[in-house]
Chains A and B, each alone.
Chain A
Amino acid sequence: MKKHLLLSTILALVALPAFADKNPRTGEDLANNQDYTYRMLDSVKSLDPQLISSVEDSDVARGLFEGLFNEDGDGNLVPAGAVSYTVSEDKLVYTFKLRPESKWSDGTSVTAADYVYGWQRLVDPALASEYAYYLELAQVKNAGAVTAGTAKAADLGVKALDDLTLEVTLENPIPYFTKMLTNSATFPAPKAAIDKFGADWTKQPNIVTNGAYLLSEVVDGEKYVEVKNPNYWDAKNVIMSPITALVINDEDAALTRYQAGELDRTDVPSGQYPHLKEQFPAEAISTPYACAYDYIINMAAGKGNEALKDVRVRKALSYAVDRDVIVNNILQGGQTPAYSWTPPAINGYAMPDIDYSHWTQAERNDKAKALLAEAGFGPDHPLQLTLNYNTSDAHKKIAVAVQQMWKQTLGVELTPNNYEWKVHTDKLIAGDFEMARYAWCADYNEASTFLDLYTGYSTNNDGKYSNPDYDKLMKDAKGMADPSANYTKAEGILAADMPIIPIYHYAKVDMIKPDLKGLPQHDVMQFWYAKDLYRIKQ
């Protein structure tokens, strides 16, 4: 017994992290254990930065890899792989100076050529990445042409001027280009490992990474463990290790395991936030999240419901939705009612003054009744509509609530149609709907990621709304140093035309152990970096 005690004491001492006392950045007293275990919704689909397309995979990848920039807890850019950059007069050429001490886990330096290779890979038709369009979205020269196979990879607007200088050329200037560079699609790629192992390069022990952590254990479908990378350029400030992601599909099961002390962070199942907040005020946390939920209206000629082509009808329907009821009585997780499309918490975005947002619900209802009557619908000629949504408890509850609101206020007869996810999406794309539930999450922390969606030329504009003034504002915004005025105007047009019925803006609702610090508080992208996490002594 004594022997065991001695042995475990020695082991415990050896296992102690380098930081026995204080956080070097904040001076806070640190707890003895600095490990972090969190819930992941599903297995990793890919750890290849250029193939990643899910939020969970990006969370893991941000520990293992590093691109030109990271985000701080408020959503501002901080230098990572790049130490500085310059922009040409015409805003078309960006020159990044790379961090000389940045290394791959095989000991070689991270060079500009690794970025060039990563970006060329991303748009390569043979790799067929779902994020291949990302560089085209970022206006990188020839990105679309390379993906289409009409230009060679070498023609992509990215060049290594020397080992530590990366030059990127854009087709059109966009003010938020650097903001797009925190996405894992733009991370560098280790060519030697990829050439050697092919598609298996992300498997252990083949994987070569450049981030603050090394991949130490993978049990697909069960867990992913990362440990601190001692050769990371900022290793002296990395406190938390190991980082364990446990795959737990069921959110209720995850909550139970959190309560049993097996997890440090998990998602709060829908509807459970109020009582958890009451029981664990320091642990149940709700923060804004850059996603928006709306009902889109089919405006395409010859499709959808003809009555919905009348703006008075669309406005009446939107006004008659009591968003407070949806947010406070159905979702109950700190979500906010939406009267406009772009979440107000998006970096640098100023919401326009939207009239009906400050009316009382009674005023909205009166206005809605008047508008619908004006459009020719009433008790003897009720408006009949259908709404598509995909299978989910929350979507169903909202649809039923809206059905009731419209019935009571406007006498509208709404038929909600439930479809399986892929069927719902298929109908959206085919334009086979009158109204449909839709949600969009930001690709980058800037309003155009939301507003571009409803331009006439957007491929994601399933309702086929089109307004030349709106399109012009969004097109002009691309070349402006500060496009925020255009965004505000565009949002105003959306409110006037009402091609969508905004319902609510998301919140990330989590249970988080109270000693855990370093998670983003004000970053609507909810990008968290394991290297910024630490536990304080309690």
Chain B
Amino acid sequence: MIAYIFKRLLVAIPTLLALIVISFLMMHAAPGGPFTQEKQLPAQVLANLNAKYGLDQPIWVQMGRYVWGVVVHFDFGPSFVYKDRTVNEIIAQGFPVTLSYGMTAFVLAVVVGVTLGVLAAVFQNSWLDYVAVGISIGAQVLPNFVMAPILVLIFTLWLGWLPGGGWEGGDWKHQIMPVIAMATAYMASIARIMRSSMLEVLTLNHIRTARAKGLPTHKVILRHALKPALIPVLSYLGPTFVSMITGSVVIDMFFSTGGIGKFFVDAALNRDYALMMGVTLLVGVLTIIFNLVVDVLYAWIDPKIRF
């Protein structure tokens, strides 16, 4: 197992390098640059800016410097747009925010989604199944950009219970709506995957055996059915976890959380090269790590899987 993890981590290095090279080239291939603007800068001013940010160098030199900065100094460079801040500072400020509401939303989505899915499968075609499926379909068709304004309308404007946005250091009142808006759609997907996988597991021989020897239903489910039924959910959870903790542009923009999610789109639109590379690498590294975690978890859940 240790050898397997070590091997996977080694493979991650060329993967990340490829990610850097491809992102770097694609980013520079896009028309316009960080200082392209309607109110054009005079040539000399533009030249000074390009020199300051190293954009006057050939692209391979720029890339080499970037990789060197990241690997040797763990320095992701200065933001080209947010001039008072470095990319390290922006990520250090925004990532804890999305990590906080993303983790809570993840736990909520998993707990509620798995519970709904299991209940729906066990009581298939009963009213409970219809309610659970109804909720998850309803949640699926309510994307977060619809969900967020509805929540604000109800809880801020009509009831006056919750603040309409802001973060205030992660105060719970400020977290409720972002968490719900983010968790809903994921919860619905988890519930659907869980339901169908559980239905399949429930027809397997070892479940029939467990029932035949007289085990009560809840024990059959918890002891024998849940673990194998979780495998398809688990493969969904790896990438989901990463996309949840890196936030969402909709949530960050709508609730003004100050999270990192907003920068995925902003940095690209602004051609803020360094920030765009920074967030891309952040997601890349997290994806590699959590795919590995999921693979390790497979082995724990299903003893048949060996590395």
- A residues adjacent to B (C-beta < 8 A): 43-48, 51, 125-126, 128-130, 132-133, 136, 144, 147-148, 199, 202-203, 219-223, 246-250, 252-253, 256-257, 259-260, 262, 420-423, 425-429, 438-440, 459-460, 462
Q: A125-B51, A130-B49, A249-B262 are in contact. Are A257 and B164 (CB under 8 A)?
A: yes
A428 touches B38 (CB 8 A): yes
Q: A48-B84, A429-B36, A439-B38 are in contact. Are A222 and B258 (CB under 8 A)?
A: yes
Q: Which one of A47, A48, A219, A249 lies within 8 Å of B167 (CB-CB)?
A: A219
Mask for B202-245, Cβ within 8 A of A = 1, else 0?
Answer: 00000000000000000000000000000000000000000000
A-B contact count (CB 8 A): 144
> Which residue of chain A is the closest to B270 with respect to CB atoms?
A422
List 10 A-B pairs, Cβ < 8 Å: A128-B52, A220-B85, A221-B258, A222-B258, A246-B166, A248-B256, A421-B269, A423-B32, A428-B38, A440-B38
Q: A420-B269, A422-B271 are in contact. Are A133 and B42 (CB under 8 A)?
A: yes
> Which residue of chain B is the closest to A54 with respect to CB atoms?
B81
Shortest beta-carbon distance from B20 to chain A in Å? 22
Give the distance in Å from the alpha carbon of A48 to the alpha carbon of B262 in the complex: 24
> Which residue of chain B is the closest to A42 with respect to CB atoms?
B266
Q: A147-B45, A422-B271, A426-B32 are in contact. Are A45 and B160 (CB under 8 A)?
A: no
> Which residue of chain A is the closest to B34 with respect to CB atoms?
A422
A246 touches B153 (CB 8 A): no
Decide yes or no whether B7 CB sits under 8 A from chain A: no
B83 touches A438 (CB 8 A): no
The residues of B that contact A132 with a CB separation of less than 8 Å are: 44-45, 48
Decide yes or no whether B257 CB sits under 8 A from chain A: yes
A128 touches B48 (CB 8 A): yes
A47 touches B44 (CB 8 A): no
A147 touches B269 (CB 8 A): no
Within 8 A of A (CB), among B255-270: 255-259, 262, 269-270
Decide yes or no whether B39 CB sits under 8 A from chain A: yes
The residues of B that contact A439 with a CB separation of less than 8 Å are: 38
> Which residue of chain B is the closest to A443 with respect to CB atoms?
B39
Shortest beta-carbon distance from B211 to chain A in Å? 52
> Which residue of chain A is the closest to B160 with respect to CB atoms?
A260
Give the distance in Å from the alpha carbon of A38 to the alpha carbon of B254 in the complex: 16
> Which range holds the interface residue count of chain B?
35 or more
Give the distance in Å from the alpha carbon of A462 to the alpha carbon of B36 in the complex: 13
A256 touches B157 (CB 8 A): yes
Decide yes or no whether B40 CB sits under 8 A from chain A: yes
Within 8 A of A (CB), among B121-169: 148-149, 152-153, 156-157, 160, 163-167
The residues of A that contact B84 with a CB separation of less than 8 Å are: 44-48, 51, 199, 202-203
Give the distance in Å from the alpha carbon of A247 to the alpha carbon of B93 in the complex: 15
Shortest beta-carbon distance from A371 to chain B in Å? 30
Shortest beta-carbon distance from A449 to chain B in Å? 11
The residues of B that contact A247 with a CB separation of less than 8 Å are: 256, 258
Shortest beta-carbon distance from B143 to chain A in Å? 15
Top 8 nearest A-B pairs (CB, nearest first) are: A422-B32, A221-B258, A222-B258, A128-B52, A257-B164, A426-B32, A128-B48, A46-B83
Mask for B265-280, Cβ within 8 A of A = 1, else 0?
Answer: 0000111000000000
The residues of A that contact B83 with a CB separation of less than 8 Å are: 45-46, 48, 51
Decide yes or no whether B253 CB sits under 8 A from chain A: yes
The residues of A that contact B31 with a CB separation of less than 8 Å are: 422-423, 426-427
B258 touches A260 (CB 8 A): no
Shortest beta-carbon distance from A198 to chain B in Å? 11
Shortest beta-carbon distance from A161 to chain B in Å? 29
Decide yes or no whether B290 CB sits under 8 A from chain A: no
- Having A425-B36, A425-B37, one finds 16 other A-B pairs with CB under 8 Å, namely A45-B82, A47-B84, A126-B48, A130-B49, A132-B48, A133-B41, A133-B45, A199-B84, A219-B93, A220-B82, A221-B262, A253-B148, A253-B149, A256-B157, A421-B269, A426-B31
Shortest beta-carbon distance from A197 to chain B in Å? 11
A248 touches B42 (CB 8 A): no
Q: A202-B84, A429-B40, A439-B38 are in contact. Are A252 and B48 (CB under 8 A)?
A: no
The residues of B that contact A429 with a CB separation of less than 8 Å are: 36, 40
A422 touches B81 (CB 8 A): no
Q: A249-B256, A439-B38 are in contact. Are A221 and B51 (CB under 8 A)?
A: no
> Which residue of chain B is the closest to A390 with respect to CB atoms?
B38
Q: Which one of A223, A259, A438 lies within 8 Å of B166 (CB-CB)?
A: A223
Q: Which one of B39, B94, B164 lies within 8 Å of A460 (CB-CB)?
A: B39
